[in-house]
Amino acid sequence: MAAVDAVATDNGIEVLRRRAIRRHRLARVGLYLAAIAAALICAGPFLWSLITAFKQSPDLYQRDNNPFLYNLPSTRKHVAYLFQETAFLTFVWNTLWVGLLVVMITLVLSLPAAYALARLDRPWSGPMAIAIFFVYLVPPTLLFLSLSRLVVAVHLQDNTWSLVLVYPTITIPVSVWLLVGFLKGIPKDIEEQAMVDGYSRLGAFVRAVVPLVFPGIVAVVVFTFTLTASEFIYALAFVAPTAEKVISTGVPTELVRGDVFFWQSLQAATVLVAFPIAFVFNLFLDRFIAGFTMGAVKG
């Protein structure tokens, strides 16, 4: 009788184990299906832009046509128009070197400032950090008139270098705020030990602190470059010549002429700009999230 009860118990346990495995598998399948659906929804605008870039105009403007299918044969003439009839490559180059210079300026100025606010025990450190962040909250539309006087004073009107001068006023405040929060999460003992080993404060900062704050640096780099590449107000107000424009102003002004929209070429430009930025962003996604979350929690 005891043997029969033991067998029944084992069978019951086996049934429960199989049910648990089945529920676990169904849950994983449901999770993957939900992830795929979310990815398709998020990628929908990108896929639509990619398909639209190669559509013929009659196919695009027929309301009954499926926007995700080629109802007429695809064409590359709109992409060719973007490269051959506009200064798109010039816009890309201007955006690239402006973004890289602004990133370097932002790091050179925000790292020491954040280190001073996070490490120097002064009563004004906290209020100063908050004040710096509030500067970032001032809308650009309130500043571009006064900044335009500065740009004219240094003779940089209608010059891409005006953006290199102006953009750090946007990127440095929030970068300092992020890095202050991140540095507060790093124990002071690390750099103190480095100074005991013979390094100066600067040497301890460079050799001991900077490697630990690297996720925050990545967050600053991604944020700064993305912001400079997408900023519109200052780029439109300070730069008028086509040869000096960046992507954010060059593409719409070249491909929107009155009530005529070169829609397929606009979508091609969107895809060509978004793909490399998204690729690089995903390479550093973990560090980017770590930098922003730690900066937000510790700040």
Phi-psi region of 241 (alpha: psi -120 to 50; beta: other; left: phi over 0): beta
pLDDT, tens digit, for every residue of 45-81?
A: 888 888 888 988 888 888 888 878 888 888 899 999 9
For the ranges 8-22, 76-90, 214-228, the maximum mean pLDDT occurs at 76-90
Residue 224: C-alpha distances to residues 2, 41, 99, 107, 172 (Å)? 73, 27, 8, 10, 9
Q: Domain boundaries in the chain?
A: 2-75, 78-298
Q: Which band of pLDDT confidence, cut at 50, 70 and 90, is reported for residue 298?
A: very low
Element containing residue 162 per DSSP (H, E): helix 161-166
Any idea which architecture 78-298 has in CATH? Orthogonal Bundle (1.10)
Assess contact for 74 and 55: CB atoms under 8 A: yes
- Please compute the mean of the pLDDT values over residues 194-206 and round it to a whole number: 77
Q: Whose CA is closest to 287, among 216, 231, 223?
A: 216
pLDDT, tens digit, for every residue of 8-58?
A: 555 566 667 777 777 878 888 888 888 888 888 887 888 888 888 898 888
How far, in Å, CA of 185 to CA of 26, rounded?
Answer: 40
What residues does 256 pair with on adjacent strands? Answer: 261
pTM: 0.78
